[in-house]
Each structure stands twice: as structure tokens, then as C-alpha cells.
Amino acid sequence: MKVIKKKSSIKNVKFGKNVTIIEPVNLYGCEIEDNCFIGPFVEIQENVKLGRNTRVQSHSFICSNVSIGENCFVGHGVCFTNDKFKNNKLQTNKKKFLKTKVGSEVLIGSNSTILPVIINSKVVIGAGSVVVKNCLKRKIYAGNPAKEIKKK
Amino acid sequence: MKVIKKKSSIKNVKFGKNVTIIEPVNLYGCEIEDNCFIGPFVEIQENVKLGRNTRVQSHSFICSNVSIGENCFVGHGVCFTNDKFKNNKLQTNKKKFLKTKVGSEVLIGSNSTILPVIINSKVVIGAGSVVVKNCLKRKIYAGNPAKEIKKK
Amino acid sequence: MKVIKKKSSIKNVKFGKNVTIIEPVNLYGCEIEDNCFIGPFVEIQENVKLGRNTRVQSHSFICSNVSIGENCFVGHGVCFTNDKFKNNKLQTNKKKFLKTKVGSEVLIGSNSTILPVIINSKVVIGAGSVVVKNCLKRKIYAGNPAKEIKKK
């Protein structure tokens, strides 16, 4: 066949109770706990877990191997990554994809880009940030690359 | 019910004449004046107003409380915001969502992120910018955070 | 008619063999060679050429006049541009849209923004970058604006 067309869909997803989804979305092989919200035009890959009450807004992409805790807010157009192009090459072995762990009550501003890092609970990521290092303190991080910022 | 699925749609939108829309889009509670263009994979929330002849390109997200004037160009993947996570908390009271006002003949480059600000008429925002302050002069602003840039 | 609704679709596209597409997408007037992959929520405009084995991930936008070589990876949410808003004006004459040329084996990280430039073969663009100048050396470029970065 010349062109293989598949439809975005919801496949092999383990859902908790009372999850709301605005289609079209492309979700597969992930776990989404109670009361989560998934906005339109979202893709979530396999081996992702979203804790209870977490909201993923429109246009966001959550790659495989991302774990997000409870009561988090993932803004619009947020992109997670699991490959740092080591030695300038694309990782094609899924077992070697890197992991990202996001705690609970984390707020991630819209259009942010999250490299494979640890983001602790109650951290705030400003909109448009590019997070390249772990965010371990309960502070606000913003910018490209994202750094801890002082309150104004 | 375990999972509540809704479809992206066009609901309670006040349209002017000759508006073109490329579906799928998710538009609700907004006002879109004559001759506007809305590209695919766009979400526009309630209490948004787009003036005549304004174009919103694919993948953009316009949150509630954004007003955009006439003859504007909103590039692809542009994200507006209405919550600055004050005191490190998500604003859940819709009445307290912040406002953004964009004048007329404004050009906003693709993948830009717009915090709740004022952008005056004839301002240019470079692609990939993160706008965190008002843009009041008729100049070009770019970068993260966006600053006035000199012509080259 | 008050509102003109069109559907995202695949129109006038020249396909090679064994191309995989995850719908919905909006593709028109472009050429996509053998074994390419196009993720969901992607828009590709006219006069775009993708070489063999190139992958365009979800949420990306490839504007007209972009040529991408073989074996490239275009991450999620990547935005190309073909108008630098010269003299603070939107270019409306399609013949004057600018061109972007990307070589082969190029890796472009997610959420990057690419102005009209030349990116040579084997270049790596870090996630979240804003590329405003040519990337001619076989190096890693990242940041806003993107600059050559040293390996760590």
C-alpha cells in the first residue's frame, strides 16, 4: 500500500473514574487516574501515568516514560521529550528512552518544553520555558534554559 | 460514567460575515468578526473577540479574556495565557482570570507565548518569543523574555 | 454564506511508497517520499518536500517553501516560518515567501521554531530552540536565539 492512514484514537488506556476527554486526541498505552481532564489535540504515549485530578490542556504532547503526579496542571502546547540525541543520534531503542518524573501539585505554563528531568512537587514552571535540568526546590523556574526566578 | 468524551466543536460563537474555518477546531463563547480566518487545530475560549480580517493560524490557542483588534496575524502555535500562577497556585475562579489586549495590525510570530499583557497596534512579535511585559511602542519585540530589538 | 467551514484533508500530495500518516492532518501540495511518517495534528503546506525516511512528529507545522532531506527527525510542535515581517508587514505575495533548506540526517528537537534559514546535514537543533541564523557546521545548536553549544 502506498499510504497507510491511521486515525488518532484512544487505545489500551487504563482509566480511573470520571475522566473527561475532548476529542480528537491520540492516547495509547497510558494510565490516567480519577478526575483527570485531557484537552483537544493532545497526544499521550505509552508508559505515561497521570495522577488524580491532573489536567492536560490542549495541544500538549506527553511522550513515553513520563510520570506526572496528582493535582498537576500541564498548560497548552507543553512538550515532553525522552531523547537527548546522545552522540547526535536519534534513539531508536525504546528501552533506552529517558524518563521524566513530575511530582504532585506542579504547574507547567503553556508552550513549555520539558527535557528528561525530575520536577519535584509544588514546583512552578513559567510559560514558554525550556527545562533542561532537574527542578528540585519548591520554586518558580522560567526562561530558556529555565532557571529559578525570584518573585517580583 | 468512567470516561466522558466530548468532541471539539463550534458552540455559541458570534460570527461576522465571510469567516473561514478549517476544522477540526474547538471554539466556544467567542466573537469572530468579518473576514477572519481560523486555521486547523485551533482552540479559542469564551470572552475572546477577534476584530475584522484577523487571521489565527493552525495550532494556536487563545484563552478566555483575550481581545484582538483588526487586521492582525496570529502565527502558528501561538499560546495566550490568563493566569500567572499567583502565589504558586492555579487560578480556579474564572472571574479572576487576567486579560490580554492586542491592538490592530499586530503581527505575532509562530510559537510565541503571550502572558496577560497589552500589545499596542502595529507591534511586531518575533517568532518563538515569550512576551511577559506590555509592548507599547510600535517596535519589534523578540526573545525569551521578549525585548525590543533593533532592526538589522 | 456566513461561515465557510472546510475540513483538514490530504490534497494534491505526491507520495512515495510506504508513507504512514496519523489523521487528522492537513497536507496539501507537498511531496512526501518513501517511508516517511507524519504524526497527528500536523499541517504541511504547498511546495514542501520531505526526503525518504523522514519523520514529522505530532503538532508540527511545515510552511510552504521548506525542503527537508532524508532520514531527518522533526520533533513535536516544531514550527517553520517563511516570512520575516519585513518592514513590519505581513508578506501577502506568495512568490516572495522565503525558503528554508534542511539537509539530511538532521534532528530538530520538539517545540523548536525555525526562521527561513539553511540547516546543513547532520546538524542537531535542541528542543525549544528558536533558529534565526543558518546552521552550517555539523554541531548542536540550542537556545533562543539558537547558538552552537559545546558538548557536556
- The 10s digit of each residue's pLDDT in A4-30 is 999 999 999 999 999 999 999 999 999
- According to CATH, the topology of domain A10-18+27-149 is UDP N-Acetylglucosamine Acyltransferase; domain 1 (2.160.10)
pLDDT, tens digit (0-9, with 9 covering 90-100), for C3-40: 999 999 999 999 999 999 999 999 999 999 999 999 99
pLDDT, tens digit (0-9, with 9 covering 90-100), for B26-42: 999 999 999 999 999 99
Closest approach of A111 to chain C, Cα-based (Å): 8
CATH superfamily of B10-82+96-149: Hexapeptide repeat proteins (2.160.10.10)
Per-residue pLDDT, B2? 84
Per-residue pLDDT, B17? 96
The Cα C133–Cα A12 span in angstroms is 43
3-state SS class at B61: strand
Contact residues on chain A for C122, CB-CB shorter than 8 A: 88
pTM exceeding the 0.90 threshold for the entire prediction: yes
CA-nearest residue of chain C to B138? Answer: C88
Touching chains, A (3+ CB pairs < 8 A): B, C
The ranges of chain C with pLDDT < 70 are: 1, 151-152
Interchain CB distance below 8 Å, B43 and A20: no
Per-residue pLDDT, A133? 98
pLDDT interval class at B1 (50, 70, 90): low
The Cα C118–Cα B50 span in angstroms is 35
The Cα B114–Cα A142 span in angstroms is 14
| CATH placement of domain C10-82+97-149 | 2.160.10.10
Query: What does the domain layout of chain C look like in residue ranges?
Result: 10-82+97-149
- Please tell me which residue, B151 or C129, carries the higher pLDDT value: C129
Contact residues on chain B for A111, CB-CB shorter than 8 A: 77, 79, 111, 113, 130
pLDDT interval class at A151 (50, 70, 90): low
The burial of A149, by beta-carbon neighbours within 10 Å (0-12 exposed, 13-18 middle, 19 or more buried), is given as middle
> Average pLDDT of chain B?
96
Closest approach of A51 to chain B, Cα-based (Å): 15
A105-137: b (≥16 Cβ within 10 Å) or e? bbbbbbbbbbbbbebbebbbbbbbbbbbeebee
Kindly report the three-state secondary structure assignment for every residue of chain C.
CCEEEEECCEECCEECCCEEEEECEEEECCEECCCCEECCCEEECCCCEECCCCEECCCCEECCCEEECCCCEECCCCEECCCCCHHHCCCCCHHHCCCEEECCCCEECCCCEECCCEECCCCEECCCCEECCCECCCCEEECCCCEEECCC
Interchain CB distance below 8 Å, C81 and B109: yes
